[in-house]
């Protein structure tokens, strides 16, 4: 097999699990931020980059955990594009300094945070904290 065919097959194989493992999320829009903060919903803000492997691992892990515990599906997941909002006032005020950060908010207050921790045990504990909020 030549290198080009191998690379194309590898990329195709990587794309398959991403489409199979999905969960419901809302794409962040700056004009909705004040309304989101006032919401009584438990929000899981996911500061992520589409190109980040760690961020992709977390997406798949969250989808797997939601499949195991449907209660996690009651949480409102908000995807925040790091390339667009990484240097914004919002991220500076929230002290989010890197992609692959998840923050739980309830009633405008931070409840929990996890930064660059692609481990299932820690993600499950994080989502449990979100449910308890």
pTM of the model: 0.79
Torsions phi, psi for 110 (to 5 deg): -75, 135
DSSP letter for each residue of 20-87: HS----EE--GGGHHHHHH-SSEEEEEEE-TT-HHHHHHHHHHHHHHHH-GGGGGSEEEEEEHHHHTT
Q: Are strands 26-27 and 42-48 parallel, antiparallel or unpaired?
A: unpaired
Q: What pLDDT, in 10s, does the model give residues 34-46? A: 888 788 889 999 9
Domain ranges for the chain: 23-132
CATH node for 23-132: 3.40.30.10
Q: What pLDDT, in 10s, does the model give residues 9-65? A: 444 444 444 444 567 888 888 888 888 878 888 999 999 999 999 999 999 999 999
Please give the torsion angle defined by the CA atoms of residues 124, 103, 116 and 48, in that order, rounded to the nearest 10 degrees: 110
């Amino acid at each position: 097999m030549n290198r080009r065919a191998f690379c194309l097959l590898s990329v195709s194989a990587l794309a398959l699990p991403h489409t199979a493992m999905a969960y419901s999320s809302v794409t962040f829009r700056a004009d909705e931020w004040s309304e989101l903060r006032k919401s009584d919903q438990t929000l899981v803000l996911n500061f992520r980059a589409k190109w980040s492997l760690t961020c992709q691992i977390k997406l798949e892990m969250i989808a797997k955990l939601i499949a195991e515990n449907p209660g996690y599906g009651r949480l409102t997941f908000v995807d925040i594009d790091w390339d667009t909002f990484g240097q914004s006032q919002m991220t500076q005020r929230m002290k989010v300094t890197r992609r692959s950060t998840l923050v739980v908010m309830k009633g405008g207050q931070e409840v929990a945070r996890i930064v660059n921790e692609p481990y299932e045990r820690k993600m499950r504990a994080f989502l449990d904290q979100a449910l308890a909020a």
